Amino acid sequence: MRSCIYPGSFDPITCGHLDLIRRLASMYDKVTVTVMINRAKAGCIPSEERVKLIRKACAGIRNVDVELWHGLLADYAAAHPGSVVARGIRNASDFEAEMTAAAVNRRLNPGMETVFLPASDKWGDVSSSAVREIASFGGDYTPFVPGCIRRDLKKWLKPVKEVL
């Protein structure tokens, strides 16, 4: 069985993420979307809720599972032998950062392979950070997130009141 791990913080999942998940699902027998805890980022959506949102967004994709992982990606990959790690690339900055991360992960887990998939033209400029930024100023972020979770996101993505 050909399987892949698609890790990320997904805070929130975007249409770009979902596009990549669909494309991976057409290439692999099993895709495990793995919600990772990124300590360098202060998340706005609790990790357990992100798992629920991704499951809802991926409900129609038969070969996709969603899991939460509180640890290193290299350790998660070691616990799932035979799976490759898939990463989306939007631009040259992403490529550089992902190449560095892949090299570090291979040092931690020599059997770990990472594949890169370029973002589709339609979603190459979309990121979770941009969605959070738009929301924080009261802008319309809805074109960038899956329609089935837009209502759910209103609970966490709210304008930030400026304190002077």
41 is catalytic: yes
55 is catalytic: no
* Residue scoring higher pLDDT (100 or 158): 100
Contact 98, 109 (CB under 8 A): no
Q: Which two tokens stand for residue 89?
A: 């690339």
Task: Give the pLDDT confidence score for residue 145 in this predicted structure.
Answer: 97
- CA–CA separation, 50 vs 72, rounded Å? 18
**Which pLDDT band holds residue 162 (cuts at 50, 70, 90)?**
low
Look at residues 76, 73, 66, 117 and name the one whose alpha carbon lies nearest to residue 95: 117
In the chain, the N- to C-terminal Cα span, in Å, equals 57
The whole-number average pLDDT for the span 151-156 is 92
Please write the tens of the pLDDT for every residue from 4-45: 999 999 999 999 999 999 999 999 999 999 999 877 777 799
Tell me which of 9, 17, 80, 83 is the catalytic residue.
17
Residue 109 has pLDDT above 80, yes or no: yes
Tell me which of 90, 106, 136, 150 is the catalytic residue.
90
Residue 164 has pLDDT above 70, yes or no: no
Residue 133 has pLDDT above 70, yes or no: yes
Contact 25, 64 (CB under 8 A): yes
- CA–CA separation, 68 vs 98, rounded Å? 21
Please write the tens of the pLDDT for every residue from 32-91: 999 998 777 777 999 999 999 999 999 999 999 999 999 999 999 999 998 999 999 999
80 is catalytic: no
Q: What is the pTM of this model?
A: 0.93
Task: Give the pLDDT confidence score for residue 160 in this predicted structure.
Answer: 81
In a 13 Å sphere around the CA of 69, the CA atoms on its Cβ side amount to 24
Tell me which of 80, 83, 128, 132 is the catalytic residue.
128
DSSP state of 135: H
How many other C-beta atoms lie within 10 A of the C-beta of residue 149? Answer: 18
70 is catalytic: no
Tell me which of 41, 107, 122, 158 is the catalytic residue.
41
